[in-house]
Amino acid sequence: MKLPAGFRGAGAAAGIKASGKPDLAMIVSDAPSVWALTATTNRVKAACVVRNQGLEQTRKPIRAVIINSGNANCATGQEGTTRNSQLADLTANNLNLTRDEVVTASTGVIGHQLLLEGIKTTLPNLTNTLEDTSDAAAEAILTTDLVPKQAGVTLSKGASIVGIAKGSGMIHPNMATMLAFVMTDAKVEQDTLRTMWQRVIAQSFNQVTVDGDTSTNDMALALSSGQREANLDELEQGLLSVCQNLAQKIARDGEGATKLISVTVTGAQDDDAARRAARAIVRSPLVKSAAHGNDPNWGRILSAIGQEGVEADFDRVRIVVQAEPLFEGQPLEFDAAHVSAKMQHDPLQIEVDLAAGEGHGQAWGCDLSAEYVRINADYHT
């Protein structure tokens, strides 16, 4: 995808992945960019997460993001922290920047030291191949993903938003689940972008689940070069659209997934309760298994809601699967074979009305297949 004005991207193979696939991505902003970061709530945090959170507190603009896949540089102690700094230094040197203008991100195995030699020799080449599209970078950040994930929108006054992401659950010996980088040339103040980003994340990446586990390296970053004027409401809607699109692509590419599950909850006490209920449904292994088997099992959906403890009027709760009403305070009559056939649809749509208010929310996930277990149980050295 063509990047917004002021951004360039590149990707290359630096020998971190044994497969020889691209594993080093770079995003450069030609002028200082304002930015916003959200990162994992896991108490075990990779060196890059800790460093970026420190950088964000300085409130200074950034100029580049360097991302390696194949090694998460997590649980690597003081040496890991040092090597993460060195990754920033090497990148800054290549681009004639200061180290604090460079954000780092790592994803891959944990507990192994990141080898910098290959990165060092690859960086000049990476810098030389910077181009105005996100394609090479989108490819180089992947780990177990089956497909690259990109999304973009153009705003009415000509500004644009392009995002790249990686996801796919975690496989041996621990792949970081989720990285996302969203670039825009829409002009926005740093503080505004940060507030906006929190709201966007709450309705997108925080609503996607593959296996319920959060990783040590999760990170979502927004950057604005500010080169084009934009309406702020439109910008926020655009960011939301791009991030929801990427979130769905991550869910769809979940390990072993055969289909996307999209859950919409209405009638909640507030939006937060709606989002919690939606997440609870899409996270339930029983709901995920039923989705895989095209089983119109409203009881598991009902039980997942009850388990989450959100306000609901269970005498009026309504459950609709693939436009077929299955439950409304009590089980409805339905043709199970017919509904089961409709449930083969990808994405599978689940709609729930909690009948307790005006809150609305969505969440996305994937079905649970025997393949998920095979991927995650397989022992790799």
Quick check: 163 and 151 in contact, CB under 8 A?
Answer: yes
> Is 177 considered catalytic here?
yes
| Near its own copies by CB under 8 A: residue from 21, 60, 120, 172 | 172
| Residue from the set 192, 214, 237, 349 that interacts with its own copies by CB under 8 A | 214
Residue 234 phi, psi dihedral angles, 5° rounding: -65, -40
CB of 81 vs its own copies, minimal distance in Å: 12
Considering only residues 328-347, where is the footprint of its own copies by CB under 8 A?
A: 329-331, 336-337, 340
The Cα–Cα gap between 21 and 12 comes to 8
Kindly write out the interface string for residues 118-157 of this chain, putting x where it contacts its own copies by CB under 8 A and - elsewhere. ----------------------------------------
Pick the closer one to its own copies by CB: 147 or 341: 341
Contacts (Cβ under 8 Å, ≥6 apart) of 345:
259, 322
Q: What is the 3-state secondary structure (H, E, C) of 138-196?
A: HHHCCCCCCCCEEEEEECCCCCEEEEEEECCCCCCCCCCCCEEEEEEEECCCHHHHHHH
Site string for its own copies, 292-331 (x = CB under 8 A): xxxx-xxxx-xxxxxx-x--x-xx-----------x-xxx
Q: Which residue lies nearer to its own copies by CB, 146 or 337?
A: 337
Q: Which is nearer to its own copies, 45 or 63 (CB)?
A: 45
Catalytic residue among 76, 144, 177, 266: 177
50 binds its own copies (CB under 8 A): no
Contacts of 318 (CB under 8 A, 6+ apart): 267, 325, 327, 328, 329, 351, 352, 353, 355
Nearer to its own copies, 10 or 368 (CB): 368
Calpha distance 31→35 (Å, rounded): 12
Nearer to its own copies, 76 or 91 (CB): 76
Q: Which residues are catalytic?
A: 177
Which residues sit at the interface with its own copies, rule CB under 8 A?
41-45, 74-77, 109-112, 169-170, 172-174, 211-216, 284-286, 289-290, 292-295, 297-300, 302-307, 309, 312, 314-315, 327, 329-331, 336-337, 340, 367-370, 372-381
